[in-house]
Amino acid sequence: MDPNKCIHLTREIVIEIHAEAIAQFGGSEGLRDLTMLESAVAAPQATFGGVSPFTDGIDVAAGYLFYLCANHPFVDGNKRMALGACLVFLQLNGYEPAPDDERWENLTMAVAAGVLTRDEVTAKLRDLVV
């Protein structure tokens, strides 16, 4: 999919994903840093001369996972929210994420630990999209 034509997430959608994750799995509610949330949501939507630096929709999804996890915008539940945002983005744009698998958790934990570059996240994510 052309990254210039994909359906992007909004700040409000990400806040709702976070609320659902907290309701389903527990944790503390609350936004820690609105600027960090806005930055993480904007990064995958950035363009240079009107052209996205991302190669395709999977690369954009990896951007959401990477930046939302790294920016830690909420008080709690950042990893769950970042993975949820990635999955919602994929589904909104016609991708089929692989069934629930420990690789999703492993990827998210590696992103949160800061051991993967965004490009490495994209490569691993490609293996998790059917």
Reported pTM = 0.94
Q: Is residue 2 part of a domain?
A: no
d(CA 105, CA 111): 10
Q: Is residue 5 part of a domain?
A: no
Report the pLDDT averaged over residues 57-77. 97
d(CA 27, CA 91): 25
Q: Is residue 85 part of a domain?
A: yes
Q: Is residue 6 part of a domain?
A: no
> Helices marked H in 8-117 — which ranges?
11-25, 34-42, 57-71, 78-92, 102-113
Say which CATH number the domain at 20 has.
Answer: 1.20.120.1870
d(CA 4, CA 122): 17
Q: Is residue 4 part of a domain?
A: no
Among candidate residues 3, 124, 117, the one with its CA nearest the CA of residue 54? 3
Q: Is residue 3 part of a domain?
A: no
DSSP H/E element including 48: none
Tens digits of per-residue pLDDT, 72-125? 999 999 999 999 999 999 999 999 998 878 999 999 999 999 999 999 999 999
Domain limits for position 28: 11-126
Distance of CA 102 to the CA centre of its chain: 17
Q: How many folded domains does the chain comprise?
A: 1
